[in-house]
């Protein structure tokens, strides 16, 4: 396992060249397990909310995940460790690519069996803040037969299926890559995260 900053260097270079990258182990397994346990416990206690889409904030049939936004006032030690790690990555990306990423926003997501997220772009049309999308997966021993891949649509018309394996972080440019979450046969746990630039279009 490589948790060194060399890995961030490779991530930055590959993101610049290809627009997407899969990092094998963002955090130590114990930290990932703590996040998975907390996310599963919140789901079990019905403490997650149905996800909503867009400015209208309407619950949509397009996505079936239940979420909890991280916030500094309520965050746990496990969430803090994740945010610290993502901030280190964000600073490395700024350093190497001069992206001007000012912060990240993150939420837990649980997709119950049979639910997914239809093909979409993370850059919302009236908001240019999201630059890099990142998804951190929390599922131990995920098998191909469990379904639940992230399908990333590439510029050449092909696609890649990425399984939501614990420890894996997927990065891609928010404005460039359409993607979808395929339905799974078991609960699919993750943290979705967006790195922001300062908004250019005046919106707050
Ligand atoms: O969980 C994933 O693999 C992707 C989630 C996603 O596309 C989103 O929350 O916008
Ligand atoms: Fe997305």
**Pair 20, 172: CB distance under 8 Å:** yes
**pLDDT of 112-168, one tens digit each?**
999 999 999 998 777 789 999 999 999 999 999 999 999 999 999 999 999 999 999
**pLDDT of 48-69, one tens digit each?**
999 876 655 555 668 999 999 9
Locate 98 and state its tokens. 């001069």
Rounded CA-CA distance 82/31 in Å is 8
Q: Which of 135, 177, 193 to mutate to test the pocket of ligand 1 (most atoms within 8 A of CB)?
A: 135
pTM: predicted TM-score of the whole model, two decimal places: 0.93
Choice between 3 and 82, residue whose per-residue pLDDT is larger:
82
**Pair 113, 183: CB distance under 8 Å:** yes
Complex ipTM > 0.95? yes
Question: How far does Cα 152 stand from its chain's mean position?
Answer: 13
Rounded CA-CA distance 52/63 in Å is 8
**Pair 187, 112: CB distance under 8 Å:** yes
Rounded CA-CA distance 39/177 in Å is 27
Mean pLDDT throughout 3-29? 91
User: Given this model, what pLDDT does residue 59 score?
Assistant: 57
Q: Is 122 in the pocket of ligand 1 (CB under 6 A)?
A: yes
Locate 10 and state its tokens. 């490779």
| Phi, psi dihedrals of residue 97, rounded to the nearest 5° | -115, -5
Cα 100 to middle of ligand 2, angstroms: 21
Whether the pLDDT of residue 1 is over 70: the answer is no
User: Given this model, what pLDDT does residue 2 score?
Assistant: 46
Q: Report angle CA 185, 155, 9 to the nearest 5 degrees.
A: 85
Q: Which residue has the tokens 């990065």?
A: 171
User: Given this model, what pLDDT does residue 53 score?
Assistant: 66
Q: Which of 66, 166, 177, 179 to mutate to test the pocket of ligand 1 (most atoms within 8 A of CB)?
A: 179
Q: What percent helix, strand, coil does the chain show, rounded to 5?
A: 25, 35, 40
User: Given this model, what pLDDT does residue 83 score?
Assistant: 97
Q: Which of 148, 192, 194, 195 to mutate to test the pocket of ligand 1 (most atoms within 8 A of CB)?
A: 192
Q: Is 179 in the pocket of ligand 1 (CB under 6 A)?
A: yes
Residue nearest to atom 10 of ligand 1 (CA): 122
- With a pLDDT cut of 90, the percent of the chain lying above it is 81
Nearest to 190 by CA among 66, 92, 28, 10: 66
Ligand nearest the Cα atom of residue 193: 1
Whether the pLDDT of residue 204 is over 50: the answer is no
Strand partners, 118: none
Nearest to 42 by CA among 90, 109, 105: 109
Domains and CATH numbers, the chain: 5-197 (2.60.120.620)
């Amino acid at each position: 396992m490589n948790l060194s900053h060399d890995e961030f260097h490779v991530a930055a270079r590959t993101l610049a060249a290809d627009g997407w990258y899969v990092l094998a182990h963002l955090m130590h397994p114990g930290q990932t397990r703590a996040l998975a346990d907390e996310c599963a416990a919140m789901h079990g206690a019905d403490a997650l909310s149905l996800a909503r889409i867009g400015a209208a904030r309407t619950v949509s049939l397009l996505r079936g995940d239940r979420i909890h936004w991280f916030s500094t006032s309520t965050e746990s030690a496990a969430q803090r460790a994740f945010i610290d790690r993502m901030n280190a990555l964000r600073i490395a990306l700024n350093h190497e690519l001069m992206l001007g990423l000012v912060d990240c926003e993150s939420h837990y997501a649980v997709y119950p069996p049979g639910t997914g997220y239809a093909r979409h772009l993370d850059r919302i049309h009236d908001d240019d803040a999201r630059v890099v999308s990142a998804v951190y997966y929390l599922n131990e021993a995920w098998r191909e037969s469990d379904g639940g891949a992230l399908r990333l649509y590439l510029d050449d018309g092909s696609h890649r299926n990425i399984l939501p394996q614990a420890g894996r972080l997927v990065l891609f440019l928010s404005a460039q890559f359409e993607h979808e979450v395929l339905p799974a046969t078991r609960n699919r746990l993750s943290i979705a995260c967006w790195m922001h630039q300062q908004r250019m279009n005046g919106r707050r």
